[in-house]
Chain A
Amino acid sequence: MSMDKATVARIATLARIKVPEEELEHLAGELGQILGWVEQLGEVDTADVEPMTGVGGVSLPWRKDEVTDGGYPERILSNAPGAEAGFFTVAKVVE
């Protein structure tokens, strides 16, 4: 399938990745090629099959809903590009 520049730009926005305008054309070609290649899955009869969402058919275990960890905000914040008074900081989001 082919993909146009506008579609790539839209996906890039959804994915929150800045893609320079001059790279859109090339990326559209690459992504279109990959999507064209995966379209062969259309040949497979999947009428009576359940989608496989995990491996082994194991049901996820239950556990008690309780606090088992925590109490060390300084460790959590130790890698933050910006932190202040026990919080992560980002540019202002509300006026």
Chain B
Amino acid sequence: MSELTRLTLAEARDGLGRGDFSAREITEAHLSAIEQARSLNMFITETPERALADAGAADERRARGEPLTLDGLPIAVKDLFCTDGILSTAASHILDGFVPPYESTVSAKLRDAGTVLLGKTNLDEFAMGSANVTSYYGEVENPWRARGDNRRRVPGGSSGGSAAAVAGRCALAAIGTDTGGSIRQPAAFCGIVGLKPTYGRCSRWGIIAFASSLDQAGPMTRTVRDAAIMLRHMAGHDPKDSTSAPREVPDFEAVIESGVRGMRIGIPKEYRVDGMSSELEALWQQGVNWLRAAGAEIVEVSLPHTRYALPTYYIIAPAEASSNLARYDGVRYGLRVEGNSVQEMYENTRGEGFGAEVRRRVLIGTYVLSAGYYDAYYLKAQKVRARIAQDFARAYEKVDAILTPTAPTAAFPIGEKMDDPIAMYLNDVFTVPASLAGLPAISVPAGLSGEGLPLGLQLIGRAFDEEGVLRAARVLEEAAEFTALPTMLGGSV
């Protein structure tokens, strides 16, 4: 592993600024790391030529004395963002060969800031999954393995390729999307930082839609500072997304060292779920102690509808997905499987093009929206969603942020939980409530399990208070001193 791939995004930015190395050198170091890690299947499409061209342009700008803010920093992009002239698949067979003639707003902003595109990372098909095992392009392997256990493990999902690439030092940072935990849970499984911003903070334009009232783009990085840097260049109002918030984008990096003195941190008693492992409970308590030691006031809070968040999510997200995915009909782009009539062509295309999990969710969504069932399922779920949001609103009368574990377990072996959809859905039990309420939330690597696998803690903030979330996350990061390296990179086994 090259020294250059060990740098954080901030260190690389500063090193490029000082002229310690060139954009081309740090890009080549990452391209070679990607090549060496290819068996983990992190990328659906590698873009080495584009990366070297981007790096060359960055070096020229710097030589002219006109560098951009993130000039020459190599990053990876989840293959759910449409990229102009580059295959964009959503990890689905149904988007075979789709090369968008446009660029998503978030990836365009990062490109305009000078970043170098290394490639498009693997994910669960249409971002539906928690283990990156539903991709048409094959599963992704986590760079971490348990101590004394050689089984390949999942990186979490759906942004599993992005998480694995950042953890495996194949990209300085990556972008992902989070609908019910798809940034935070893989970040926890791979030992990195993952931030889901407030709904509306980043434009959804050009992101292949899964559930439009939940989807949000966010950064996946190795440090809290790097997450702050990335978010600044991803966020902002976009007239092309009517749900993007017309708000100023703060300089998140400027506040991360402000600490938590005087901040009130809530601990929701409902997150102490049955069967939580004692090591996860101990880590959570450790997080409480760290924040208290840094001057935060710890307050017990109640979020009484927490246990209804997952079933609510599994009505709303599939309902929205069934509507969003109606566009894949073999007419305008992607796969077409012919039939004797247009109707048959639609059915054949969608029957062959969608994988098992996507099909399951589209069918559930179609059912809960169908005549006679709409009120009982969909309307009911929207009302329970309102209750869940009210729970948070009440809690935020007393506290500034909420601390919970990110996921109920560490990364599990590939192949587990495959036969039982509900067991797989339970991975997101701690991440889904903040998604339903549209709140910003971050996962910070906080320690290793007894088996030597990363565990994450989650901080959930008030709407548009990413600054508070990042400040508290920085305190956790500093206290946790998480420096362990993945097994793949010679970390202890």
Residues in A lying within 8 Å of B, measured CB to CB: 7-8, 11-20, 27, 30-31, 33-35, 37-44, 46, 49-56, 58, 60-61, 63, 72, 75-76, 78-82, 88, 90-91, 93
Give chain B's interface residue range (CB within 8 Å of chain A): 35 or more
- B351:A58 contact, CB within 8 angstroms: no
Q: Which residue of chain A lies nearest to B370 when distances are taken between CB atoms in the complex?
A: A14
- The chain B residue sitting closest to A80, CB to CB, is B332
Contact A79 to B332, CB < 8 A, known contacts A53-B382, A61-B242: yes
Chain B residues near A44: list those with CB within 8 A: 305, 308, 383-384, 387
Residue B297, interface by CB 8 Å: no
Q: List chain B residues, Cβ under 8 A from A39.
A: 311
Task: Let me know if A55 and B200 touch, CB within 8 A.
Answer: yes
Q: How far is the CA of A64 from the CA of B360 in the complex (A)?
A: 40
List 19 interface pairs A-B (beta carbons < 8 Å), by A numbering: A8-B363, A11-B363, A14-B370, A15-B363, A15-B366, A30-B360, A30-B421, A31-B360, A31-B367, A33-B422, A40-B311, A42-B380, A44-B305, A44-B384, A52-B385, A55-B438, A79-B333, A82-B331, A90-B331
| A78 / chain B contacts, CB cutoff of 8 Å | 99, 101
The one of A7, A49, A54 that contacts B387, using a Cβ cutoff of 8 Å: A49
Q: How far is the CA of A61 from the CA of B347 in the complex (A)?
A: 37
> Do residues B334 and A79 form an inter-chain contact, with CB atoms below 8 A?
yes
Let me know if A34 and B422 touch, CB within 8 A.
yes
Chain B residue at minimum C-beta to C-beta distance from A19: B351
* 6 residue pairs, one from A and one from B, having the closest CB atoms: A18-B351, A55-B438, A51-B382, A81-B336, A79-B333, A46-B383
B363: chain A residues at CB < 8 Å are 8, 11-12, 15, 17, 27, 31
Query: With A34-B314, A44-B384, A81-B334 as given contacts, are A56 and B438 in contact (CB-CB < 8 Å)?
Result: yes
Q: Is the CB of A17 within 8 A of B387?
A: no
**Count of inter-chain pairs, beta carbons less than 8 A:** 164
Residues of chain B within 8 A (CB-CB) of A90 are: 331, 342, 345
Check: B98 CB closer than 8 A to any chain A CB.
yes
Shortest A8–chain B CB gap in Å is: 7
Q: In this complex, what residue of B is CB-closest to A90?
A: B342
A11 to B369, CA, bound (A): 10
Is A81 a contact of B314 with CB atoms below 8 Å? no
Is the Cβ of A34 less than 8 Å from the Cβ of B335?
no
Most buried by B among A49, A78, A81, A93: A81
How far, in whole Å, are A84 and B173 apart by their CA atoms in the complex? 43
Closest B-chain residue to A50, C-beta based?
A: B386
| Interface assignment of B359: CB less than 8 Å from any CB of chain A | yes
Least CB distance from A74 to B in Å reads: 9
1/0 contact string of B339-368 vs chain A (CB within 8 Å)? 111110111101110100001101110110
Most buried by A among B100, B343, B384, B386: B384
